[in-house]
Structure 1
Amino acid sequence: MMNKYTFHAKYEGALHLMLMKMYLLFIFRLITTPFTILCPSSCHMAVYANCLLS
């Protein structure tokens, strides 16, 4: 049986992880948007995204 504290800790952890993902995605978009405007080449974007993910 899970008590209130462990449930809260798990929920908070999941929420924190989700916020971190959104924050990283926001930064990623913020960085990549000027590149998309300056260089709309999808190939360039794919290479750039691949570099960041690897």
Structure 2
Amino acid sequence: MLRLENELKDLILNNMSEKIELMLESDKTFSKYLKQIQSKKMDPFEAADKITKSLIK
């Protein structure tokens, strides 16, 4: 039972990861925050937090 549970969790996480990757590629928010990080206007942790919040709203 535990093996099946772990396998199902892995499949779900992989699916979510793929969907998030597609969302980030198509969303201008990601590139906007990336530019802010590159220009030292924002740190990566703050940007990641803001992007995560925008994805789960």
TM-score range, shorter chain: 0.5 to 0.7
Say what the alpha-carbon RMSD is for the aligned residues: 2.4
Percent of aligned pairs with the same amino acid: 9
Aligned residues: 43
In the TM superposition, structure 1's runs of 4+ consecutive aligned residues that sit over 6 Å from their partners are none
Superimposed CA distance per residue, residues 7-54 of structure 1 (whole angstroms, 9 cap, x where no aligned partner): xx110110110110010010011111112xx451226x6423223347
Q: Report the TM-score, using the length of structure 1 for normalisation.
A: 0.57
Question: Which residue is 2:5 aligned to?
Answer: 13
Contiguous gaps of at least 5 residues in structure 2: 37-46
Contiguous gaps of at least 5 residues in structure 1: 1-8
CA distance in 2, matches of 1:18, 1:52: 20
Please state whether the residue corresponding to 2:23 is helix, strand or coil: helix
